[in-house]
């Protein structure tokens, strides 16, 4: 059985001991003659143009994944409100749900607890021609389960020791594994939590678990640091995505995912609409007086 090509592992710059995405020109970049100020807010127009260009590339990537039978896993981790859902939304917005699938596992049932810890994640892995995005992943064991005391410390330590070998097995089997940690600042997280409390459109995002985790900022910081140190390896390195600025985080996240997959544009003959047949022609207009029509309020 053949395996899909594995993405080359470009050398990443280091900052504070963690990998950062290497710079690479691609759609969505500012013009070389006028580099963008990292602290300057993107205008809506600039953001939408860059997002459009990156989403076009995602569509090209999608066709390459289908054509080559590639299997891709994207792991998104980070604190609550770090922006994982927003990044997932712009990834999925213009691609097929038959190719891009999101996995966000809830709390395990008693039946699922009886399984090996990693088993419930392996069951969600991509088949050939599929990209699976984990909105939180097996790293729950090193994050929320550890901080909230749901898992004994010995099991966490065993997980941290074993998971690099597990991920090497994945990549050696031909799976392209991309791991992103979305890093949000303390003040920005508080601002986003308060918006969830006040905004009816966001209140559904707020859970009792979120409120508990909010009070344990430094416990999560220590868990993050130990997780990154133990599981950042050559076959599946961690990349840190600063996410205080939502727009830039989404663009940088999309660009980075594209840069980690060796896709090429698949050329197809342009489709042409066939001529409609008039065979069995009849007056097919609906009789608006005899059907239930949705009220035209707008």
Residue 288 pLDDT exceeds 80 = yes
117 three-state secondary structure: coil
Q: Which residues of 93-106 are buried (b: 16+ CB within 10 A; e: fewer)?
A: eebeeebbbbbebe
Q: What does the pLDDT read at residue 218?
A: 96
pTM (whole model) above 0.85: no
In degrees, to the nearest 5, what angle opens at C-alpha 210 toward C-alphas 86 and 232?
65
Tell me: pLDDT of 84 over 50: yes
Q: Is the pLDDT of residue 32 over 70?
A: no
Q: Would the pLDDT of 37 be above 60?
A: no
Going along the chain from its start, the domains and CATH numbers come out as: 13-32+41-259 (3.40.50.300)
**Is residue 114 scored above 90 in pLDDT?**
no
pLDDT digits (tens, 9 = 90+) for 160-181: 999 999 999 999 999 999 999 9
43-82, pLDDT tens digit by residue?
999 999 999 999 999 999 999 999 999 999 999 999 999 9
For residue 200, pLDDT over 80 is answered with: yes
User: HEC string of 36-74?
Assistant: CCCCCCCCHHHHHHHHHHHHHHHHHHHHHHHHHCCEEEE
pLDDT at 6 over 50: no
Confidence band for 20, pLDDT divided at 50, 70 and 90: very low
pLDDT at position 31, please? 52
The pLDDT confidence band at residue 40, using thresholds 50, 70 and 90, is confident
Question: Mean pLDDT over residues 178-200, rounded?
Answer: 95
Confidence of residue 106 (pLDDT cuts 50, 70, 90): confident
């Amino acid at each position: 059985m053949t395996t899909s090509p594995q993405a080359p592992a470009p050398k990443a710059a280091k900052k504070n001991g963690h990998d950062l995405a290497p710079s690479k020109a691609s759609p969505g970049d500012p013009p070389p003659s006028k580099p963008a100020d990292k602290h300057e807010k993107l205008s809506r127009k600039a953001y939408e143009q860059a997002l459009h260009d990156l989403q076009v590339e995602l569509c090209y990537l999608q066709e390459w994944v289908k054509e080559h039978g590639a299997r891709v896993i994207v792991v998104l981790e980070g604190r609550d409100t770090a922006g994982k859902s927003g990044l997932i939304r712009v990834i999925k917005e213009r691609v097929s749900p038959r190719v891009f699938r999101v996995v966000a596992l809830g709390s395990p049932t008693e039946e699922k607890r009886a399984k090996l810890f990693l088993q419930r994640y392996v069951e969600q892995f991509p088949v050939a021609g599929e990209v699976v995005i984990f909105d939180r992943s097996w790293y729950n064991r090193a994050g929320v389960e550890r901080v909230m005391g749901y898992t004994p410390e010995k099991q966490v330590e065993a997980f941290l020791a074993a998971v690099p070998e597990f991920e090497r097995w994945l990549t050696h089997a031909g799976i392209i594994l991309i791991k992103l940690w979305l890093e949000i600042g303390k003040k920005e997280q508080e601002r986003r939590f308060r918006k969830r409390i006040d905004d009816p459109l966001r209140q559904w995002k707020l859970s009792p678990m979120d409120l508990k985790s909010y009070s344990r900022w430094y416990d999560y910081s220590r868990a993050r640091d130990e997780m990154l140190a133990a599981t950042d390896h050559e076959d599946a390195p961690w990349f840190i995505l600063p996410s205080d600025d939502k727009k830039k985080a989404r663009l940088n996240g999309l660009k980075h995912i594209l840069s980690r997959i060796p896709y090429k544009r698949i050329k197809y003959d342009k489709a042409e609409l066939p001529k409609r047949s008039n065979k069995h022609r009849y007056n097919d207009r609906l009789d608006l007086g005899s059907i239930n029509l949705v009220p035209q309020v707008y």
